[in-house]
Amino acid sequence: MRHWADFAGISGTTIRRLFHQVTDTYVLFPAFALLMLVVIWATTLHLIKVERAGAENAAFVLSRELVATYEAQAVRALREIDQTLKFVKYAYELDGKQAVLQDLRTRALLPADLLFAVSIADTKGDIIASTRPGVTKSADQECFATPLQSDSLCVSHPLKNPDSGELILQFSRRVNAADGSFKGVVMVSTSVAYFVSGYEQAKLGEQGLIGILGIDGVFRARRTGDAISAGDRVDYAS
């Protein structure tokens, strides 16, 4: 039988041989290079993850700021339109004359004609006075019918101007006769483009989106890049 020292010597020799093989340049250098590649890739992926998280957070903050700014602009525009409706309604109910619009216009008490058309319609929906000549009929029968039941502000669905083909929105309020009965409506009409004119290409690019979406799921105005649309529906249930 071999002595234990013989086995120990053999084992020691084998270990030394394996160590020399492992530490040989042809084995050690590729292994070290592979390890470095793993470290570099892991570090790069971590940096990409950090950069992406930072970019997403910056985009989220910017989006919130843009939404807040756009909301303030839209609310201010709607408030000014409603104030015009209330003012014309009050003046017409007080005076009762169709010439009230011309009087208000002469005194510069109405919004700019370039952007807004102010009209008065009778109980049949026929336009009896308007800051835009040639308008004879209320374009939106829904917003004409609603004031029959309520004195609240009515905002129409997007409509197409029969003369220009432009998409417009109509805002209306009920007008009362001296005895409180229905006498007609006062209306303000404007292009849907007016409500998305605040689109900033530098911040939103060509694929961004701003718009006014009604609680009925219908876009009153919508813009992506230079494309302006209205009337698209969103299913709140899905």
From edge to edge, which strands make up the β-sheet containing 219-224?
210-213, 219-224, 227-229
| pLDDT at position 18 over 80 | no
> Global pTM?
0.72
The whole-chain average pLDDT of the chain stands at 80
pLDDT at 1: 47
Under the banding of pLDDT at 50, 70 and 90, the label for residue 7 is: very low
pLDDT at 4: 45
Which stretch of 34-48, 49-63, 118-132, 161-175 has the lowest confidence by average pLDDT? 49-63
Beta strands in 84-231 (DSSP E): 117-121, 127-130, 154-155, 159-160, 167-176, 182-191, 210-213, 219-224, 227-229
Beta strands in the chain (DSSP E): 117-121, 127-130, 154-155, 159-160, 167-176, 182-191, 210-213, 219-224, 227-229
Give me the amino acid identity at 18: L
> What's the pLDDT tens digit per position in 59-117?
677 778 887 888 888 899 999 999 999 999 999 998 888 789 989 988 999 998 888 99
> What's the pLDDT tens digit per position in 198-234?
888 877 888 888 889 888 899 999 999 889 999 899 8
- What percent of the chain is modeled with pLDDT above 70? 79
Cβ-contact 183, 175 below 8 angstroms: yes
pLDDT at 95: 81
Residue showing tokens 């009209």? 119
pLDDT at 16: 58
Cα 73 to Cα 158: distance, rounded to the nearest angstrom:
19
Determine the Cα angle at 114 with ends 113 and 116, to 5°.
Answer: 55
Cβ-contact 158, 108 below 8 angstroms: no
- What Rg, from alpha-carbon coordinates, does the chain have? 36
